[in-house]
């Protein structure tokens, strides 16, 4: 059987290399390397609303990657001064992609912004600046520095199974995070499967989907490929035999 094709949502940002300073589609390589190491074929998807969903029938799985703040208007809020300028096309492209992926049962792993996007896609809301809610911010301690903390994982959840944790007892797992926003009101159909010590929702999943899991942390920056392996395994399970 051929390896499953895993789409990874990309950024569009101003980038510089050589003599060039132009808009570019990009993604931190750790995402693609993690998918490849887990046995998948990574394909970066550009944030172009009119074409991104056309690739869906060719994908076996999807990673909704991290990135900038989602436009607060998407969840009925006015932007705070601490909220970054949204990437309007990326928001539109990924919200449409998330809805279409759920409609066909495509295996989905959301990471950081990906968790927030899935929550907004389900009608949920976000805390626009987490330090205003939990105080001192261990989730992003300094620019470009990942916070290290533990999360408590719900026993028997898809997340627990994916991490190889207990099916009967809550377990803690260390994570690397870098975010200043988080889930406030939970979106329809989502269940919380991990929380931080300060109460921040750290993972959600949809029990009605074959595999829809999202985490607030960044598994691509660590050495544990469990979540990527679980996504690839779910993608393989829906591929035609032969």
Tens of pLDDT, residues 28-44: 999 999 999 999 999 99
Whether residue 166 has pLDDT greater than 80? no
- Domain assignments of the chain as residue spans, ordered by start: 5-237
- Kindly tell me if the per-residue pLDDT of 1 is higher than 70: no
Active site residues: 112, 218, 220
* Residue 1 burial (C-beta neighbours within 10 Å; 0-12, 13-18, 19+): exposed
Cα separation, 91 vs 149, in Å, equals: 29
- Point out the least confidently predicted range of 13-22, 62-71, 168-177, 226-235: 168-177
pTM for the model = 0.96
Give 136's contacts (C-beta < 8 A, 6+ positions apart).
none
Angle (CA) 164-168-171 rounded to 5° is 55
Average pLDDT rounded to a whole number, residues 4-23: 96
- Residue 62's nearest CA partner among 98, 26, 87, 93 is 98
State the pLDDT at residue 242. 60
Q: Does position 93 have pLDDT exceeding 80, yes or no?
A: yes
Please provide the CATH number assigned to the domain covering 5-237.
3.40.50.880
């Amino acid at each position: 059987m051929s390896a499953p094709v895993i789409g990874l949502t990309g950024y569009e940002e101003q980038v510089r290399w050589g003599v060039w300073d132009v808009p570019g589609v990009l993604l931190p390589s750790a995402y693609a390397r993690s998918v490849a190491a887990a046995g998948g074929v990574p394909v970066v998807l550009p944030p172009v609303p009119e074409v991104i969903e056309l690739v869906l029938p060719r994908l076996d799985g999807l990673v909704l990657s991290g990135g900038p703040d989602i436009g607060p208007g998407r969840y009925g809020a006015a932007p705070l001064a601490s909220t970054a300028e949204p990437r309007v096309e990326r928001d539109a492209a990924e919200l449409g992609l998330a809805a279409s992926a759920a409609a066909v049962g495509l295996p989905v792993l959301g990471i950081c912004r990906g968790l927030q996007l899935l929550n907004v896609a389900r009608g949920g809301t976000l805390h626009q600046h987490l330090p205003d809610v939990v105080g001192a911010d261990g989730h992003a301690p300094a620019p470009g520095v990942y916070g290290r903390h533990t999360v408590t994982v719900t026993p028997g959840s898809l997340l627990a199974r994916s991490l190889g944790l207990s099916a009967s007892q809550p377990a803690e797992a260390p994570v690397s995070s870098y975010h200043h926003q988080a889930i406030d009101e939970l979106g329809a159909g989502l269940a919380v499967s991990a929380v931080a010590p300060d109460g921040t929702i750290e993972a959600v999943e949809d029990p009605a989907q074959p595999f829809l899991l999202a985490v607030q942390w960044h598994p691509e920056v660590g050495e544990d490929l469990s979540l990527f392996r679980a996504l690839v395994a779910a993608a393989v399970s829906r591929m035609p035999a032969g």
